[in-house]
Chains A and B, each alone.
Chain A
Amino acid sequence: MTDMVRTGFRPSRIAIYGVLLLACLVYLIPLIVMLITSFKTPMDIRSGNLLAMPTDWTTIGWTKAWSEACTGVQCEGVKGYFWNSFKMTVPAVMISTLLGAFNGYVLSKWKFKGSDLLFGMLLFGCFVPFQVVLLPMAATLGKLGMANTTAGLVLVHVIYGVAFTTLFFRNYYVAIPDALVKAARLDGAGFFTIFFRILLPMSTPIFMVSLIWQFTQIWNDFLFGVVFASGDSQPITVALNNLVNTSTGVKEYNVDMAAAMIAALPTLVVYIVAGKYFIRGLTAGSVKG
């Protein structure tokens, strides 16, 4: 596709580069604004403008956001919620990915009567708006004594994440020749041996995709957090929203931005370190089936 345009500095190419760079700026500016605002003093914010550099750089916004800012009635910063998010995200990502891997394995290599039905159920489940399950889920969690607990959130994220992870793995394993499984069965390998000794060693890329996709999804989730958690068990996104919307005292935008940065950092780091897999997950997640 790309070989049809000869490189050279014709005006059209300058225009193309111009547009692309302008777009870069547009995409970057919010991040830049967020960063420089977080290092400003409240004074600075009022006297300068969005893109003005801080007159004196200060981390006060960050320390306040981390340990002092009010998120509702409490004023202990977002640190507790930040760890909450980790406590919720890590197990949920692990469990949903593992389940997805096994499901994908069965749905591609050990099909049985009804396995296509299950696959269809999962495929459709990816599209269902979560609003239709919130209320019964809240009731169930209450009955199970898991309302407002991290364990409850983990369960919720596993249930609504497993459809995606299953699709990832199923589509990946479908592309692996069935003959491999047949050969292994003749070699005497059983269900788990084939999975752990043959397929698993080939699955690193799709594991990365699934782990990263699930990590960003679950870390960034707000809906489940705000509905199923309260107070001490809330994830960072809910805390950030509370912090920004807390109307007591003077609005401190540097603290808001620092808190937003704190909430954004884990997924940004993952994106920068393993962006390749993130993009693959996005495209795979969008062209399911």
Chain B
Amino acid sequence: MSQLELRDIRKTYPGALDETLKGINIDIASGEFLTLVGPSGCGKSTLMNSIAGLESITGGSIVVEGKDISTMEPKDRDIAMVFQSYALYPTMSVRENIAFGLKIRGMPKDEIQQEVERVADLLQISALLDKKPARLSGGQQQRVAMGRALARRPKIYLFDEPLSNLDAKLRVEMRTEIKKLHQRLKTTIVYVTHDQIEAMTLADRIAVLKDGELQQLGTPKEVYDTPENLFVAGFMGSPSMSFINVTVEQAGPGLVVNIEGSDGRKLALPVPDYLQGWAGKQVVLGIRPEHISQPDEQKRDSQMVAESRFTVEVTEPTGPDILAVIRLNNVDVQCRLDAEHPVNWGEEAELMFDMRKVVFFDPDSEKRIRP
């Protein structure tokens, strides 16, 4: 049985003209880690608040373990939430912060004591228990906020961008820690993030939201490799996928698309047979930076590669590799080059296009063309 079911969730804020959530359907299994991504203002926080009961929904239902909780008060839903701003009670010590929810629920003192210590151990904040939140660093506050959620042992945890106020290094550390914690406790988590890598590394499944509508729900690999539409394709992955308008053409037994560099050099790229029905028509070719790189001997055997020389317009060394921009069919296209063989801007480089993982979109519906 799924732990949390969102059935056609709709939400219109009082006085607002548009629906903020336009019928969201997601099933979340027990122990699953679901990340929720989408551009700012797409309704992620609204969805989280609705699940928690902090906002009432205007349509649909929220079901936990088979029971409809849509109209329950937040306190009765057995859901905990970690906020971006941590929302620690400033006048209470860390201990009191963690104990607050337990005290209100009438847990005996000695049990509260035990529970606080268990959580503090788990998150390694035992030394901080008697400090006030204002005296803690961002990372420590973050731990306390998680501790407060863990102490209640709720059925479901909601994280609304919990790491976005931390600096880059700390964010990576905490990310790992959240992952470990999840693997250890097997809790059900819904996790909102802006961070691509956070979404990819933490999630069992990713839900991509746009304008209050679910765009795609799938494992990180599915979402990355087979995005449902142009939006998801462009949103997931950093640096993002490049899109090139091309026409599918018949070339002998196979199909190709032609691309043209800034110097007029042309190259025919082999495309898979499922585009047969699109021959002679325009499609959008979605190609990720790692699909264009310096020639690789092992790939040469494949039918689905092509090579040519192109002028590099811009280079951005990232450390392990170099991001280079070339112009194809009058759009900028990013490629990922080996840092061992540096290329300077303005120079030509021999590039290999690996067409096995590229995707194609219908330019009208913006949907991916399925095999």
Contacts and interface: CB of A to CB of B under 8 A. Distances in A.
Contacts of B85: 177, 179
Contacts of B148: 183, 187
Given A182-B49, A182-B52, A187 B104 contact: yes
Interface string B155-195: 00000000000000000000000000000000000000000
B182 to A, nearest CB: 19
Interface stretch (B74-82, B228-236, B323-331): B74-82
Interface string B1-37: 0000000000000100000000000000000000000
A198 B89 contact: yes
B91 interface: yes
Contact of B90 (A188, A193, A197, A202): A202
A201 interface: yes
A227 B75 CA distance: 51
Interface string A186-203: 111110010001100110
Nearest to B82: A183
A236 B84 CA distance: 54
B87 interface: yes
Interface string A266-277: 000000000000
A188 B101 contact: yes
A198 B92 CA distance: 8
A185 B79 CA distance: 11
Contacts of B89: 180, 183-184, 197-198
Interface in A226-242: none
Interface string A61-100: 0000000000000000000000000000000000000000
Nearest to B149: A186
A201 B132 CA distance: 13
A260 B79 CA distance: 63
Nearest to B89: A198
A214 to B, nearest CB: 24
Interface string B59-96: 00000000000000011000111011111011110000
A113 interface: yes
A186 B154 CA distance: 10
B100 interface: yes
B105 interface: yes
For chain A, give the interface size range: 10 to 19
B104 A186 contact: no
A9 B337 CA distance: 66
A190 B104 CA distance: 9
Contacts of B81: 182-183, 186
Nearest to B100: A187
A185 B105 CA distance: 12
Nearest to A201: B91
A166 B310 CA distance: 69
A177 B54 contact: no
B152 interface: yes
A70 B90 CA distance: 55
B14 A186 contact: no
Contacts of A186: 52, 54, 74-75, 79-81, 101
B91 A182 contact: no
Nearest to A116: B15
Contacts of B104: 187-189, 193
Contacts of B91: 198, 201-202
A193 B104 CA distance: 9
Contacts of B84: 179
Contacts of A184: 89, 100
A183 B83 contact: yes
Given A113-B14, A187-B148, A179 B87 contact: yes
Among A113, A182, A185, A186, the one with the most B-chain Cβ atoms within 10 Å of its Cβ is A186
Contacts of B54: 182, 185-186
A65 to B, nearest CB: 46
Given A113-B14, A188-B75, A182 B87 contact: yes
Contacts of A198: 89, 91
A183 B49 CA distance: 11
Interface in A148-194: 177, 179-180, 182-190, 193
B139 to A, nearest CB: 18
A252 B147 CA distance: 72
B30 to A, nearest CB: 20
Contacts of A179: 83-87
Nearest to B15: A113
Contacts of B92: 201
A182 B92 CA distance: 16
A128 B150 CA distance: 52
B101 A187 contact: yes
Contacts of A185: 53-54, 74-75
A76 B49 CA distance: 66
A198 B74 CA distance: 17
Nearest to B52: A186
A266 to B, nearest CB: 31
Contacts of A202: 90-91
A180 B87 contact: yes
A182 B83 contact: yes
A253 B84 CA distance: 66
A179 B91 CA distance: 15
B256 to A, nearest CB: 55
Nearest to A176: B90
Contacts of A201: 91-92
A95 B336 CA distance: 70
B152 to A, nearest CB: 7
What are the nearest 8 A-B pairs in CB distance? Answer: A187-B101, A179-B87, A201-B91, A188-B75, A183-B87, A179-B83, A188-B104, A185-B74
10 contacts: A179-B85, A182-B52, A182-B54, A183-B83, A183-B148, A185-B53, A186-B52, A187-B101, A188-B105, A198-B91
Interface of A: 113, 177, 179-180, 182-190, 193, 197-198, 201-202
Given A179-B84, A186-B80, A187-B101, 4 more contacts: A182-B49, A184-B89, A185-B54, A186-B81
